[in-house]
Structure 1
């Protein structure tokens, strides 16, 4: 399958037209590789480490969730990471393609994978967009779990370096309805409350957002951006492996960008 055919297949599933106006999904750099047989490295974030990995593995496409280019460029200068990414992409004929807010909405996208990992049932979007799809997922735990059991399940499944959750007096509280949203999901707290979810798994929550969540009777669980979205990249790589591609692999050089001191 050529890179052009792969992108056509993907965009029929996760249409870039669904992206938010502030987003920049689609081709970030296309150095003339469309007719080549696809050799794909899937990653969460396109970085110089991932680019070096792609070069070493003779990949010709980096397929990322996070955009390489978010804001209009004013310049490209030696020593800047973005400029170096562009130089290496053209020098080694490696395309960079991003699926961001369109991939967030679809079945088997960032939120849906989290729902599947927690075995949520009767799942629906937190905020519907089109065709029954949308941002986040909310569903039922059957059987229900105690909050401590839910936190242990999340720790086991997602392996976050740090798991932060709302202060609660009762880790034995029964949890039966859970909402999930990969990435920075604190802006959806009010929408989650309307779904009657008892707990909300997401990332990048600030101090007062934990307060807001607690005041509305919602247990907020923050696993960090990387841990909440990396599993969907694994799922996407597996989807690609089911196609007639020359080669596909999940990046081993994706970075969390954060470290925590161990006690």
Structure 2
């Protein structure tokens, strides 16, 4: 059985929820339709003509990419321009394009965690908090004979997480009353007659990022036609999503030694470096993409070095005078996401018993050549 496009994207948004993206970011479905069977998914950093040709060759119906193909509003769509040709090929071959950008950057187990892990940076804190999940209290009333079924469905969907504890809930017994309407087909009771039923009240916490998923699981597992439930906003803060990562190096190194590690692990031929190559490093920060402005935040959190792309001349000067080292592997170092996203989707599709295939793009989209 092949997965529908919406099913693939639901898995993707479990990894990178759309609502945690930075304001104004161009994410989500940018071209095509998800209302179709997906035979093959291609993951890519960028979508250019070579990547589209690769998708056509593989028979891909969907490209999941990091960088947007439509970043500014289109005044017209001319197919004789370079990007117009890309759009034309995608449309003619019915290939949809879905973008996960800053939501993939900030999520736990996403871009910045992948880069930190590759460079041997221990799990630490974010450099800047972008989004904090709002928490809601879910209360639902269930007939006693379906209590365990509904409870497990809710908790297995992700509700009930408090700190390092999961599957937290509170359950009380009580009596529910209702009169089924004339056109109803009640699980319990008779239309037009007052019914009193022994029920269980389930209370648990639901983070905003999982709210839709939890409610769907609850409704699917509940026997009633009309489910009685409440959802209350809470003042308590949930999980925080942040940009960048900073932590201790598992293996302390000199700046020169760490440069070689960056080149190897991020698969880049050259880097630009600011700082004394003999300087010992104990703590490092990393920001995928263009993160030069985070050198002060990195320094404030005790980092000896910041690894990020697109560092400009004056930022390099300021950081050098302030005493923090910089390593610029280029924006394209984010290509680490291709294999990681492919691995995530492949695992989820396999768990769902789908036959949809997933490939990581092998196309090098680095625009610069180092001579």
Q: TM-score, normalised by structure 1?
A: 0.93
**What is the CA–CA distance in structure 1 between the aligned matches of 2:39 and 2:291, rounded to whole Å?**
33
Name 1:8's counterpart in structure 2. Answer: 10
Q: Which runs of 4+ in 1 moved over 3 A?
A: none
Query: Contact conserved, 1:61 with 1:97, CA < 8 A, in 2?
Result: yes
Alignment of 1:57-206 (within 5 A): 57-129=58-130, 130=132, 131-168=239-276, 171-206=277-312
Q: Distance in 1 between matches of 2:81 and 2:8?
A: 30
Q: State how far apart, in whole Å, the 2-side matches of 1:82 and 1:232 are.
A: 23
1:252 equivalenced with 2:342 (yes/no): no
Distance 2:87 2:300 in 1: 44
The aligned residue for residue 223 of structure 1 is 329
Pick from 4, 15, 26: which aligns with 1:24? 26
Cα distance, 1:76 vs structure 2: 1.0
Deviation of 1:10 after TM superposition, in Å, equals: 1.7
Q: Give the deviation of 1:39 after TM superposition.
A: 1.1
- Name the structure with the higher strand share: 2
Q: Is the 8 A contact 2:120 2:251 kept in 1?
A: no
Q: How far is 1:75 from its partner?
A: 0.9
SS in structure 2 at match of 1:249: strand
5+ residue gaps, structure 2? 133-238, 350-354
What TM-score results when the alignment is normalised by the length of structure 2? 0.66
Aligned residues: 257
Contact 1:49 1:254 in 2 (8 A): no
CA 1:215–1:59: 2 relative to 1, 3 Å: same
Tell me, in whole angstroms, the C-alpha distance in 1 between the residues paired with 2:119 and 2:292: 20
Counterpart of 2:341? Answer: 236
Q: Which has the larger radius of gyration?
A: 2
| Structure 1: unaligned runs, 5 residues or longer | none
Q: 1:24 to 1:192 in 2, by over 3 A?
A: same
Give, in whole Å, the separation in 1 of the partners of 2:123 and 2:109: 15
CA distance in structure 1 between the aligned counterparts of 2:79 and 2:267, rounded to whole angstroms:
37
RMSD (Å), alpha carbons:
1.5
SS at match of 2:124: strand
Shift of 1:194: 1.4
Moved more, 244-253 or 99-108: 244-253
Alpha-carbon offset, residue 217 of structure 1: 1.4
Match of 2:54 in 1: 53
Once residues 252 and 98 of structure 1 are traced to their aligned partners in structure 2, the CA distance between those partners, rounded to angstroms, is 18
